[in-house]
Structure 1
Amino acid sequence: MPDSSHTEKLNQWIAAGEAARARLAAPGTLSLAEVSALQPQEFFAQIGSGELPCPPFGHLVDFVPLEWSSGYFVFQGTPDTRHYNPLGSVHGGYAATLLDSCMGCAIHTLLQPGQGYTTTDLRVSFVRALRGDVGPVRAEGRIVHLGRSTALAEGRIYDVDDRLYAVGSTTCLILDTPR
């Protein structure tokens, strides 16, 4: 039986996810030129406050941006049976998607207006199976290196009890984007 600190932290995580979800605007997209014209912190703040549309993919997979700062990004999602593979656990693609997203967004927080990025390499190591009864998980990405043409980031997925489910790393190519 979970102790009271587990239950309290779980309730905090659920409330944080619901609050983030409530602030988000309807799913939609911007052009690459519109995104690259914004300062990264401004871009994410406007998504987080509902001033800009939330990316449709986050809505589809059901995860939300929770917090970010320079070189750091956290998404929260709650895997359930919609995400199951034929073996009765959450498909590895769900974890890979969360990791790709948090690590890519961590890189994006440090880009300059007029820059974009694309993932060139994604490595994921699965530590334990995700199941529908795990509850919310967080995917946390951090910059390892940001150069002129490439960036490296690492990420991890963990639950309210800090149990690790997957770790990953990425290399992204830094691109000049059209204005």
Structure 2
Amino acid sequence: MMAEGLEGNGSVLEQWLAREAEVRANIAGYGVSTMEQMKSRSGFEFLRAIISGELPAAPIAQTLGFLAVDGEPGRIVFQGTPGKEHYNPLGSVHGGYFCTLLDSAVGCAVQSVLPKGVGYTTLEIKVNMIRAMTDKTGPVRAEGKVIQVGSRVGTAEGRIIDANGKLYAHATTTCLIFPLP
């Protein structure tokens, strides 16, 4: 596991914010890792290197303001705080924010169980948005969990919740598994 659970003193919200601050302090900038950096690590080792600041975080994480905060092989958690910069013209958080956050969580859950030299890409994602998010929602977490990963196809499921455990969306994905070039 990358981080300890939410045991101890303080509210869940306080613990979430503290963990986010800890990970943000370690970010090694934003960018794209080289193929050699990807191929030389298992999927979980690669993700752990991003969270620890050894490798740069993905540019989309900077654009949308979210980051991976926890995980273990088969399970990855991303956290972000939706704001007005994520709004659609109707005055709530755009569905693309939900989808991108969930695609990151479920895709990286699949990646977290891949061996060295193996990559993935999303073939399909299905997202159900249960309720709206606004700039008043506060931090949310998208947790992705592997359902099954084989040599060619991987599937995972994910959920977005707030610090009170309220469900905002859920998703499933199918990923193509392939050797990295």
TM-score, normalisation: structure 1: 0.92
SS at match of 2:67: strand
1:40–1:109 contact (8 Å) kept in structure 2: yes
Query: Could you tell me which residue of structure 2 aligns to residue 125 of structure 1?
Result: 128
Identity of aligned residues (%): 45
Alignment of 1:27-176 (within 5 A): 27-176=30-179
2:153–2:175 contact (8 Å) kept in structure 1: yes
| Partner deviation per Cα, 1:29-77 (whole Å, 9 max, x = no partner) | 1123431221222212211111111111111110011111110000000
Distance apart, 1:153 and its partner CA? 0.3
2:82–2:135 contact (8 Å) kept in structure 1: yes
Query: Could you tell me which residue of structure 2 aligns to residue 3 of structure 1?
Result: none
Which whole-Å CA distance do the structure 2 matches of 1:154 and 1:42 have between them?
21
Structure 1 unmatched ranges of 5 or more: 1-6
Which whole-Å CA distance do the structure 1 matches of 2:43 and 2:123 have between them?
20
Structure 2 unmatched ranges of 5 or more: 1-9
Which whole-Å CA distance do the structure 2 matches of 1:34 and 1:25 have between them?
14
RMSD over aligned CA atoms reads 1.1
Which whole-Å CA distance do the structure 1 matches of 2:17 and 2:179 have between them?
38
SS at match of 2:11: helix
1:145–1:152 contact (8 Å) kept in structure 2: yes
Q: How many residue pairs are counted as aligned between the two chains? A: 172
Which whole-Å CA distance do the structure 2 matches of 1:119 and 1:42 have between them?
20
TM-score, normalisation: structure 2: 0.91
1:33–1:177 contact (8 Å) kept in structure 2: no
